[in-house]
Amino acid sequence: MNKQIIITASLLGALAVIAGAFGSHALKATLSVSQLQVWQTAVQYQFYHVFALLFLSTFTRFKNKTISITYYLFTFGIVLFSGSLYLLACRDLLNMPGLAVLGPITPVGGLLFITGWVFLAIAAFRNK
């Protein structure tokens, strides 16, 4: 098991639970239905990739940089994809309409997720 990956996944997993509960309870009365859907999408994708990180942490027999690269791709994907969605969902609540400029950041995070999955497949192919 890779300790760094497990710690990162644990912290991001705890934050996903907090964000999910916060969205379901505290934000439910203040955000529109579409904004809540954006918030929940951020939570879902964060969880999906937390589980991917936990799975990645079991690859102790892989002794190459591909696993490390995959770790960073998933981690930064969570920050950019979910992080931008959290902020976009709350831009009216925060009275910061300028956060709309974060819109293009979300697909970059998605691209990091996709690239991470491709690197995971490459690591599996390279394993002997």
Q: What is the pLDDT of residue 62?
A: 62
Domain limits, the chain: 3-126
- pLDDT at res. 97: 83
pLDDT digits (tens, 9 = 90+) for 83-103: 999 999 999 888 888 888 888
Q: What DSSP string runs through 38-104? A: HHHHHHHHHHHHHHHHHHHTT-TT--SHHHHHHHHHHHHHIIIIIHHHHHHHTTTTTT-GGGGGGTT
Residue 1: per-residue pLDDT: 66
Each residue's pLDDT tens digit, 64-85: 788 899 999 999 999 999 999 9
Instruction: Output the pLDDT for position 128.
Output: 66
pLDDT in tens, 53-63: 999 998 866 66
Q: What is the pTM of this model?
A: 0.92
